[in-house]
Amino acid sequence: MAAALPLLLSACLGGPQYPNSTFTDHTDFNRDASELWNTMMLWGAIVFVFVEVLLVYTMWKYRRRPGGPEPEHVHGNTRLELTWTVLPAVILVFIAVPTVRSIWRFQSGAPANALQIDVIGHQWWWEFRYPEQGIVTANELYLPVGRPVNFNLTSKDVIHSFWIPQLGGKRDAVTNRTNHLWFTPDSVTPNAFNGSCNEFCGASHANMRFRAYVVSEADFASWAAGQAQNAVFPPPAPDTAGGASAATVSNPAPAQAPALPLAPGYMFPAEQLPAHVVPQTPIPDGLVIPDEVLAAGDPQRGFEQYNRSLCIGCHRIRGNPRSPGVIGPDLTHLGSRHTLGAGLFRNDARHLAAWIKNARRMKPLSSTSMPAVGLGEIDPFTKQPVTAALGGLNDQQIADIVAYLLALK
């Protein structure tokens, strides 16, 4: 056991080489939790050493000696019993006071200026809504540094649990009530974090991950402004730029919406992503579409193809009235995300194409989630090959859709 202990403890250290450690000081929440842990470890260690020393000493002092007298038989010792009752009670007070204080602090509701984020767990991905900013996105969170953030947690189906180990959590997301979790990310280095589901929720529970980026207030404002826009595709013709053009396929813009086209908002720079947030999941055999086919993908053709495909029944692209689905993630700004499939894959043409070809081979999905779409692919759920009659798409059509979706920054 002593040999196994260092192995166990090595999983608990903080620092950059342990990117999923919870002993960090990136938020008030985690600082409180670390301090509580340290307090408990200190008192626990004092009690442990005291008790063990006493035990070993007593065993040694009163050990059996050859020819020794029969020990005295006693029953009860009021003074001793009082001591070992009162002393632990006093020690528990030292642990209880800071514990209860922290519980009170983080259960009594977020500060009034907190950024509100609605988190909805789905089998097996995360929907994030920023109601004040009018944003709906999936699997990637942007948080402004220094501002408390209040997560309102619910679920669409089964019980999930929301946790960003380096920032705070974990808390269950259930269907019939809204749970709350709040903390203040107050350090920007490091600034990209892993999050995950932590309540077993089915076949792809382990594939229900997400990312959180802590960014400056200005970058957050830029990101939020970009995300709040409708998708601008096809791009307005140059002569109509500046006004809501007839060429833009878009919902009637709300009165206060800025005129199109706006520049895409801030995006966490890909080259600054630390290695631990970049997915390394390989593409299963046979799903890679050759690069030259992908390079020939045409966004305009992809837009038209997408609008004729099954996709629109499940996915929403704001600004594309043909695509109002709400079963899958909102794809309005898919091109601005770094990951796909709930943090499982990198978001680039290769992975996106393979995902569209056969999402259920890329990631075990339920019967109601995204079906295989590649022509001739065997859908792992129905065990049937995908045909044109079922809406199957060939590699070129998929490459076109990929070009369209990646253009949605």
User: Minimum distance from CB of 247 to ligand HEC (Å)?
Assistant: 23
Q: Which does 201 bind (CB under 5 to 8 A by kind): Cu ion, ligand HEC, none?
A: Cu ion
- Is 401 in contact with 309 (CB distance < 8 Å)? yes
Q: DSSP assignment, residue 318?
A: T
Any contact of residue 221 with ligand HEC (CB under 6 A)?
no
Q: DSSP assignment, residue 282?
A: P
Stretch in the footprint of ligand HEC (CB under 6 A) among 148-156, 157-165, 179-187, 321-329: 321-329
| CA 290 to the chain's CA centroid | 31
**How far apart are alpha carbons 310 and 302 in whole angstroms?**
13
- Is 35 in contact with 181 (CB distance < 8 Å)? no
Radius of gyration of the chain (CA): 28
- Is 340 in contact with 271 (CB distance < 8 Å)? no
Of 186 and 348, nearer to ligand HEC (C-beta) is 348
Question: Binding residue for ligand HEC (CB under 6 A) from 139, 161, 245, 248?
Answer: 139
Report helix, strand or coil for 203. Answer: coil
Of 210 and 303, nearer to Cu ion (C-beta) is 210
| CA 398 to the chain's CA centroid | 28
Question: Binding residue for ligand HEC (CB under 6 A) from 29, 106, 125, 183?
Answer: 125
Per-residue contact string for residues 322-341; x = within reach of ligand HEC by CB under 6 A: -----xxx-x--x--x--xx
- The size of the chain, in residues, is 409
Q: Which does 243 bind (CB under 5 to 8 A by kind): ligand HEC, Cu ion, none?
A: none
Any contact of residue 158 with ligand HEC (CB under 6 A)?
no
Per-residue contact string for residues 294-313; x = within reach of ligand HEC by CB under 6 A: ---------------xxx-x
Q: Which does 197 bind (CB under 5 to 8 A by kind): Cu ion, ligand HEC, none?
A: Cu ion
Q: What are phi and psi of 146, to 5 degrees?
A: 85, -5
Question: Binding residue for ligand HEC (CB under 6 A) from 401, 406, 407, 408?
Answer: 401
Question: Binding residue for ligand HEC (CB under 6 A) from 369, 392, 400, 408?
Answer: 369
Find the helix or strand (DSSP H, E) in which 182 lies.
Answer: strand 179-183
Binding region for Cu ion (CB under 5 A):
160, 197, 201, 208
Q: Which does 342 bind (CB under 5 to 8 A by kind): ligand HEC, Cu ion, none?
A: ligand HEC
Q: Which does 26 bind (CB under 5 to 8 A by kind): Cu ion, ligand HEC, none?
A: none
Any contact of residue 201 with ligand HEC (CB under 6 A)?
no
Q: List the one residue out of 223, 247, 252 whose CA is nearest residue 235.
A: 247
**CB neighbours of 39 closer than 8 A, spacing ≥ 6?**
94, 95, 98
The residues facing 213 across adjacent strands are 142, 192
Q: Is the peptide bond before 261 cis (omega within 30 degrees of 0)?
A: yes
Residues that bind ligand HEC (CB under 6 A): 124-125, 138-139, 309-311, 313-315, 327-329, 331, 334, 337, 340-342, 352, 355-356, 365, 369-371, 373, 401, 405
